[in-house]
């Protein structure tokens, strides 16, 4: 605002200087007092520019334009060449200022400077050629008038392009009329006071029109009204005191000066009312609210703060409207409106789909107002749906909030009045608000999305931690159960019965194998104590606190072997291999595993980390494997019963458990242990055994090994009626020959029962082995055991 302040002093001084030069010339065609009064009045126009908003575009240009018009009027219609040139240059400056104001804001500096320089060069060149006699003397005036006409046409194009066709047409008609009036004053038949009056009327209307363009609310009236009346009063006093006697009396001349000031004030007020009705639809409240809202936007504010800073001023501007302003965001879809107490209420909500589609279809993301859509609906039927949506919700304007060519949100403003058309100034101020609001929303929504993501990740982390805690608790519980079960198995005393030399070698070898982590192959006949031996090795090794998992390979269904061994995510099953992580995995009857499972097991046991991905066990936590087989390694390899890689993993030193018939000196101790266990199981008082019964047991070959011995003793304890087991209490110890007819005597049910009993007896109570001996499926065999009530005699 430095230029308007400066021109408030330099303007009247320049006009007084021109008037002094004019007074020295006696060739003026207009009354000197009339010209002085009008030009001095125009020289005070910079006072009006002081009342314009500080950030309004063109306030300085408006002050320059007013002073130039005052100088042009003060130097008009004289024979002085100097004053004539001053008159022409002043109007040229006015035309340049008009052209500069009408050019769009986004015009580049190079294009703007080129247009202004081209127009000025054309006018000066025409004046120079006219002075040389090459062109008519009125060439300069014609160029200036044509420039004003071109400015009017450009003004009309700009307004029509923004959807204000009627306003643009009226503005163009007004400028054409003023240009024609100026041409008549310069080049037409007008002369004397009439020509001066016409030129003053054109100058004042041009200036007032541009004042309405820059300051639609005419705030400047508050600043310029009183100074104008004061200036007219000073003119009255000065005229009454200093003007000599003239054809007009002093009081008449002073009254004319005072009347001119009053007329000036009336013209301001009338222009303000006309501008309010024709140009400004909401009497300036919307622009003020948009400006306050834009200035309230600060970086780093939350969505709630941004909404409050924008919606509260707009609520005051639309107090008489039917609806209320709303703010919508697109990512995430939120709706923000004001609650009681002007508090921002943020909820999930999407903007009307028809309005959103129309905005995205427009590459420029321009403002949608109800009036422009009504004008477009005839030639663009595609906007009908958006127009209906806005009318049904009483939406007068949709302001896209754009940041870096991306729509961050939509600001919905209610409609006021029946036209629903926004003025050019409203659109410009709302456009600036949309740009500022788009940047603020981009920052706030990015922070909100980040906070939401952090909250979601925190929730996931808490859920994962809770899940981990629960799984760790379950794991500890399972480990405790396995430990209890394993230690219960370790209490089996059969391994400690080692009166024979062969069994003492087994104990020594087991202690040696417990110190290493290599896989171990136990060669043992059916029914031998492989489980106590394996547990003995585990408990005396470095993994004694880790899980000890027992897996029966012969009992696993062929279609489930892989999932039982390595687990299955689909079935949410943990495999034997994972359950034994860090501990020991006992695989009973290893040759019963299918070849694919053996190959995969060999990969999982590989030391170079090339195991399968689904074993999910790190190399440091791989379980130690103890496998059992009834045939030695050489025979298994000769028959091709083992995968080569798996056989190579088990190629280290193994352990062979002797059969019970090879260590008969251990039988009496094992019999006594079995009697004690059977009495406890059957809840009987302790019993003894006769010598003849003991000798019969020692002489038996025990094809079912220790398991058969324990089963025979349990049956004998159950049959014994005295305090000692006699020979008659013992079940048959020999497997009948095929030619023996006794085996086929009785009914079919009795024969089947005897076959089942003897199969269990020969297999040492092993159900899988007994089923193989009879050529039955394991499920069929178990069903027959249940029908005959023999399931309690089977041990596994």
Length of the chain: 796
HSE-CB of 688 using CA atoms within 13 angstroms: 5
CA distances to 278, 393, 619 from 317, in Å: 19, 18, 73
Q: How confident is the model at residue 274 (pLDDT cuts 50, 70, 90)?
A: very low
| Residues 378, 381, 382, 387, CA torsion sign | positive
pLDDT of residue 607: 57
Q: What is the pLDDT of residues 417-444, one digit of tens each?
A: 555 567 666 777 888 888 889 888 888 8
Q: What is the dihedral of CA 423, 426, 428, 431, to 10 degrees?
A: -120
pLDDT of residue 169: 59
367-386: average pLDDT: 82
Q: How confident is the model at residue 447 (pLDDT cuts 50, 70, 90)?
A: confident
39-44: average pLDDT: 71
Say how many C-beta atoms besides its own lie within 10 A of residue 694's C-beta.
17
**What's the pTM?**
0.39
CB-based burial of residue 241 (10 Å sphere; 0-12 exposed, 13-18 middle, 19+ buried)?
A: exposed
pLDDT of residue 675: 92
- Please check the confidence at residue 253 and state whether its pLDDT lies above 50: no
Which token pair is 737?
């020959």
- Please check the confidence at residue 246 and state whether its pLDDT lies above 50: no
Q: Comparing 777 with 27, which gets the higher pLDDT?
A: 777
How high is the mean pLDDT of the chain?
A: 76
- Please check the confidence at residue 4 and state whether its pLDDT lies above 90: no
pLDDT of residue 61: 76
- Please check the confidence at residue 389 and state whether its pLDDT lies above 50: yes
pLDDT of residue 558: 82
HSE-CB of 737 using CA atoms within 13 angstroms: 2
Q: What is the pLDDT of residues 187-237, one digit of tens each?
A: 666 566 666 677 777 777 777 766 766 665 445 544 454 455 555 555 555
Nearest to 494 by CA among 293, 699, 713, 643: 713
Q: How confident is the model at residue 161 (pLDDT cuts 50, 70, 90)?
A: low
Nearest to 482 by CA among 623, 602, 592, 591: 623
What DSSP element (H or E) covers 448? helix 424-490
Q: Comparing 667 with 766, which gets the higher pLDDT?
A: 667
Q: Which residues contact 336 (CB under 8 A, 6 or more apart)?
A: 303, 304, 307, 311, 326, 327, 328, 329, 344, 345, 346, 347
**Alpha-carbon gap, residue 446 to 309, rounded angstroms:** 19
- Please check the confidence at residue 258 and state whether its pLDDT lies above 80: no
Q: Are 420 and 413 a contacting pair, CB within 8 Å?
A: no
Cis amide prior to 332 (ω within 30 degrees): yes
pLDDT of residue 737: 42
CA distances to 470, 476, 572 from 461, in Å: 14, 22, 22
Q: What are phi and psi of 326, to 5 degrees?
A: -135, 150
**H-only helix segments in 162-297:** 165-187, 192-214, 220-242, 250-278, 285-296
679-683: average pLDDT: 88
Say how many C-beta atoms besides its own lie within 10 A of residue 427's C-beta.
20
Contacts for 252-260: CB closer than 8 Å, 24+ residues apart: 253/33, 256/37, 257/37, 257/232, 258/232, 258/233, 260/37, 260/38, 260/41, 260/232
**Alpha-carbon gap, residue 744 to 765, rounded angstroms:** 23
CA 177 to chain centre: 58
Q: What is the pLDDT of residues 725-762, one digit of tens each?
A: 998 888 877 544 444 444 555 566 777 787 888 787 77
What DSSP element (H or E) covers 486? helix 424-490
Nearest to 689 by CA among 736, 730, 634: 730
**Alpha-carbon gap, residue 791 to 796, rounded angstroms:** 10
Q: What is the pLDDT of residues 321-366, one digit of tens each?
A: 777 889 999 888 999 988 877 888 889 888 888 888 888 887 667 8
594-603: average pLDDT: 88
Considering only 35-39, 247-251, 721-725, which range has the smallest mean pLDDT?
Answer: 247-251
Q: How confident is the model at residue 163 (pLDDT cuts 50, 70, 90)?
A: very low
In the three-class reduction of DSSP (H, G, I as helix; E, B as strand; rest coil), residue 304 is classed as helix
Q: What are phi and psi of 656, to 5 degrees?
A: -110, 125
Considering only 123-127, 421-425, 652-656, which range has the smallest mean pLDDT?
Answer: 421-425
What DSSP element (H or E) covers 426? helix 424-490
Q: What is the pLDDT of residues 479-521, one digit of tens each?
A: 665 554 444 444 455 666 778 888 888 888 888 888 888 899 9
774-791: average pLDDT: 80
**Alpha-carbon gap, residue 433 to 292, rounded angstroms:** 9
Q: What is the pLDDT of residues 453-478, one digit of tens each?
A: 898 999 999 999 988 988 887 777 66
Percent of the residues in the chain that have a pLDDT greater than 70, as a whole number: 70
């Amino acid at each position: 605002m430095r230029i308007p302040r400066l021109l408030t002093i330099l303007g009247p001084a320049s006009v007084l200087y021109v008037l002094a030069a004019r007074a020295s010339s006696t060739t003026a065609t207009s009354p000197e007092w009339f010209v002085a009064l009008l030009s001095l009045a125009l020289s005070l126009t910079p006072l009006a520019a002081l009342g314009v908003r500080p950030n309004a575009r063109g306030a300085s240009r408006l002050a320059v334009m007013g002073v130039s018009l005052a100088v042009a009027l003060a130097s008009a219609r004289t024979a002085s060449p100097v004053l004539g040139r001053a008159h022409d240059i002043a109007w040229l400056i006015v035309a340049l200022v008009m052209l500069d104001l009408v050019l769009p804001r986004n015009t580049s500096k190079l294009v703007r400077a080129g247009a202004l320089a081209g127009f000025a060069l054309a006018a000066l060149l025409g004046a120079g050629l006219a002075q040389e006699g090459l062109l008519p003397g009125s060439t300069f005036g014609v160029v200036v008038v044509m420039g004003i006409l071109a400015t009017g046409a450009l003004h009309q194009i700009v307004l029509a392009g923004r959807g204000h066709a009627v306003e643009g047409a009226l503005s163009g008609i007004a400028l054409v009329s003023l240009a024609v009036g100026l041409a008549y004053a310069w080049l037409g038949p007008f002369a004397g006071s009439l020509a001066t009056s016409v030129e003053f009327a054109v100058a004042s209307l041009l200036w007032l029109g541009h004042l309405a363009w820059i300051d639609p609310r005419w705030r400047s009236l508050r600043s310029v009204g009183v100074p104008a009346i004061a200036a007219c009063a000073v003119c009255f006093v000065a005229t009454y005191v200093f003007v000599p006697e003239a054809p007009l009396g002093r009081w008449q001349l002073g009254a004319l000066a005072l009347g001119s000031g009053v007329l000036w004030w009336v013209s301001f007020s009338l222009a303000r009312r006309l501008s309010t009705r024709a140009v400004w639809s909401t009497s300036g409240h919307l622009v003020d609210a948009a400006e306050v809202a834009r200035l309230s936007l600060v970086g780093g504010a939350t969505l709630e703060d941004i909404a409050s800073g924008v919606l509260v001023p707009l609520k005051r501007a639309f107090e008489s409207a039917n609806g209320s302003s709303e703010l919508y965001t697109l990512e995430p879809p939120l709706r923000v409106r004001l609650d009681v107490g002007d508090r921002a209420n943020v909820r999930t909500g999407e903007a009307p789909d028809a309005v959103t589609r129309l905005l995205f279809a427009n590459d420029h993301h321009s403002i949608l107002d109800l009036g422009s859509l009504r004008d477009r609906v005839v030639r663009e039927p595609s906007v009908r749906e958006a127009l209906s949506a806005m009318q049904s919700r009483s939406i007068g304007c949709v302001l896209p909030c754009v940041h870096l060519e991306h729509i961050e949100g939509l600001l919905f403003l209610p409609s006021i009045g029946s036209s629903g058309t926004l003025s050019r100034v409203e659109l410009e101020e709302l456009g600036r608000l949309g740009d500022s609001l788009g940047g603020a929303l981009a920052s706030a929504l990015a922070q909100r999305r980040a906070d939401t993501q952090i909250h979601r990740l925190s929730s996931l982390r808490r859920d994962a931690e809770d899940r981990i805690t629960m799984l760790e608790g379950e794991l500890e519980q399972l480990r405790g159960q396995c430990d209890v079960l394993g230690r219960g198995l370790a209490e089996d005393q059969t391994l400690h019965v080692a009166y024979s030399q062969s069994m003492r070698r087994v104990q020594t070898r087991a202690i040696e194998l417990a110190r290493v982590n290599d896989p171990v192959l136990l060669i043992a006949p059916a029914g031998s104590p492989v489980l106590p031996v394996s547990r003995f090795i585990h408990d005396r090794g470095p993994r004694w606190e880790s899980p000890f998992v027992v897996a029966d390979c012969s009992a696993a269904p062929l279609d489930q072997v892989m999932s039982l061994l390595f687990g299955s995510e689909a079935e949410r099953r943990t495999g034997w291999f994972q359950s034994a992580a860090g501990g020991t995995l006992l695989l009973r009857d290893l040759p019963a595993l299918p070849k694919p499972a053996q190959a995969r097991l060999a990969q999982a046991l590989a030391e170079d980390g090339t195991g399968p991905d689904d074993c999910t066990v790190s190399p440091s936590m791989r379980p130690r494997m103890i496998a059992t087989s009834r045939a030695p390694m050489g025979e298994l390899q000769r028959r091709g019963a083992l995968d080569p890689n798996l056989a190579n993993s088990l190629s280290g030193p193994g352990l062979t458990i002797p059969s019970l018939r090879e260590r008969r000196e251990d039988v009496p101790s094992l019999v006594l242990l079995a009697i004690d266990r059977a009495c406890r199981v059957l809840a009987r008082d302790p019993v003894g055994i006769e010598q003849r019964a003991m000798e019969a047991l020692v002489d038996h070959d025990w094809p079912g090994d220790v398991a058969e011995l324990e089963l025979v003793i349990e049956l004998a304890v159950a049959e014994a009626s005295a305090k000692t087991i006699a020979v008659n209490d013992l079940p048959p110890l020999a497997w009948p020959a095929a030619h023996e007819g006794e085996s086929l005597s009785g009914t079919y049910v009795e024969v089947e029962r005897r076959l089942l009993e003897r199969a269990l007896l020969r297999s040492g109570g092993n159900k899988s082995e007994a089923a193989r001996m009879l050529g039955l499926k394991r499920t069929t065999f178990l069903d027959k055991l249940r029908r005959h009530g023999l399931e309690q005699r089977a041990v596994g």
